[in-house]
Amino acid sequence: MLKKEKNKQLKYEFVCIESLVPQDHLLRKIERHIDFSFIHDKVKDLYSPDNGRPAVAPTVLFKMLFIGYLFGIRSERRLIEEIKVNMAYRWFLGYGIEEKIPDASTISQNRRRRFNGSEVYQEIFDEIVLQAMGHGMVGGKVLYTDSTHLKASANKNKFEVKEVRKNVRDYIADLDRDVEEDRRRHGKDPLKPRGEGDSGIKFSKVSTTDKDSGYMFREGKPVGFFYLDHRSVDGRHSIITDAHATSAAMHDSVPYLSRLDRQRSRFGFEVETVGLDAGYFTAPICRGLEERGIYGVIGYRRPNHVKGYFYKREYRYDEARDCYVCPGGQELRYRTTNRGGYREYKSDPSVCRECEHLDRCTRSRNHVKVITRHVWEGSKERINGHRLSEYGKRIYARRKETVERSFADAKELHGHRYARMRGLSKVQEQCLLCAASYNMKKIALYLSRGGGGPFDDAMKGIKGMIDTIVELFFLQPAYQTA
User: Do residues 120 and 42 touch, judged by C-beta distance below 8 A?
Assistant: yes
d(CA 179, CA 185): 10
Q: Which residues contact 211 (CB under 8 A, 6 or more apart)?
A: none
d(CA 438, CA 424): 21
User: pLDDT truncated to tens, each residue of the chain (482 aa)?
Assistant: 677 777 777 777 788 889 899 999 999 999 999 999 999 999 988 888 878 788 899 999 999 999 999 999 999 999 999 999 999 999 999 999 989 999 999 999 999 999 998 999 999 999 999 999 999 999 999 999 999 999 999 999 999 998 777 665 667 888 889 999 999 999 999 988 876 545 567 788 899 999 999 998 877 788 999 999 999 999 999 999 999 999 998 888 899 999 999 999 999 999 999 999 999 999 999 999 999 999 999 998 877 888 899 999 899 999 999 999 999 999 999 999 998 899 999 999 999 999 999 999 998 999 999 999 999 999 999 999 999 999 999 999 999 999 999 999 999 999 999 999 999 999 999 999 999 999 999 999 999 998 765 545 555 555 555 555 545 454 455 444 43
Give φ, ψ of 53 to 5 degrees.
Answer: -75, 150
Let me know if domain 131-191+199-300+387-446 sits in CATH 1.20.1250.20. Answer: no
d(CA 114, CA 47): 8
Helix (H) or strand (E) holding 471: helix 454-473
Secondary structure letter of residue 7 according to DSSP: -
Q: Which residues contact 478 (CB under 8 A, 6 or more apart)?
A: 382, 385, 386, 389
Bridge-partner residues for 224, per DSSP?
A: 216
d(CA 127, CA 42): 10
- State residue 199's pLDDT score: 54
- State residue 398's pLDDT score: 95
Return the half-sphere exposure (C-beta side, CA atoms, 13 A cut-off) of residue 70. 21
Bridge-partner residues for 346, per DSSP?
A: 333, 370
- How much is the pTM? 0.88
d(CA 441, CA 436): 9
d(CA 431, CA 419): 9
State the Cα angle at 136 between 135 and 140, rounded to 5°: 130
DSSP of 312-371, one letter per residue? GGGSEEETTTTEEE-TTS-EEEEEEE-TTSEEEEE--HHHHTT-TTHHHH---TT---EE
SS3 37: coil
Secondary structure letter of residue 198 according to DSSP: G
Specify the amino acid at residue 218. Answer: R
